[in-house]
Amino acid sequence: MKFVCAVLVLLFLAFPVSLEAQSTARQLVPDFTQLFLNLDTLPTRTYFLDYQPSFDPRGGHLQGMQRFGESALYLSGSTETHSYMALGDTQRKRIVSVDSLMPAPFRHAGGFQIYGRYLAVGIEDNQKRRTSRVQIYDLHAENPWAQPHYSLLREGAFERVTAGAVGLTAYRQKLWLLVANWDSRNLDIYTCPKAEFEQGTGSFDLQISLDASKLPRSDWSDPDWNSYQNINLFTDQQERLYLVGTGRDGEGNQVGDLFELQTEESPPSLRKLASKVFHPGEPVDFKAAAGLVIGSGGSLELLGAPYQLEGRTRIDVFSSHDK
Predicted local confidence at residue 297, as pLDDT: 86
CATH number for the domain spanning 71: value is 2.115.10
How confident is the model at residue 12, as a pLDDT? 38
Rg for the chain, CA atoms, rounded? 18
Whether 3 maps to a domain, the answer reads no
Rounded Cα–Cα distance for residues 312 and 303 (Å):
16
pLDDT of residue 183: 97
Q: What is the pLDDT of residue 256?
A: 98
- Report pLDDT for 27: 63
d(CA 122, CA 113): 10
Answer yes or no: is 175 within a domain: yes
pTM higher than 0.85 for the full model? yes
Domain assignment of residue 241, yes or no: yes
How far apart CA 275 and CA 134 sit, in angstroms, is 28
Give the number of domains in the chain: 1
Mean pLDDT by 10 residues, the chain (323 residues): 39 39 58 97 98 94 97 98 98 97 98 97 98 98 95 98 98 97 98 95 97 96 98 96 98 98 92 98 98 92 98 97 71
* Within-domain flag for 6: no
Q: Could you tell me if residue 75 is inside a domain?
A: yes
The pLDDT value given to residue 323: 58
Does 214 map to a domain?
A: yes
Checking 254-261 for CB contacts under 8 A at 24+ apart, the result is 254/278, 254/279, 254/280, 254/285, 254/286, 254/287, 254/304, 255/226, 255/286, 256/36, 256/39, 256/286, 256/290, 256/292, 256/302, 257/224, 257/225, 257/226, 257/228, 258/33, 258/36, 261/189
Give the residue among 97, 7, 17, 93 at the shortest CA–CA distance from 50. 93
**Alpha-carbon dihedral 35, 231, 77, 150, rounded to 10 degrees:** 110
- In a domain, residue 243? The reply is yes
Which phi and psi angles does 130 have, rounded to 5°?
Answer: -125, 5
Burial 3-18 (b: 16+ CB within 10 A, else e): bbeeebeeebebbebe
Residue 177 amino acid letter: L
Domain of residue 169 covers 23-319
Helix (H, G, I), strand (E, B) or coil at 284: coil
- What is the structure's pLDDT at 17? 40
Residue 273's SS3 state is strand
Residue 199: partners with Cβ closer than 8 Å, 6 or more residues away: none
- Do 297 and 322 meet the contact criterion of CB atoms below 8 Å apart? no
Which pLDDT does position 296 carry in this prediction? 80
> Which residues are CB-neighbours of 214 under 8 A, at least 6 positions away?
none
Tell me whether residue 18 is in a domain: no
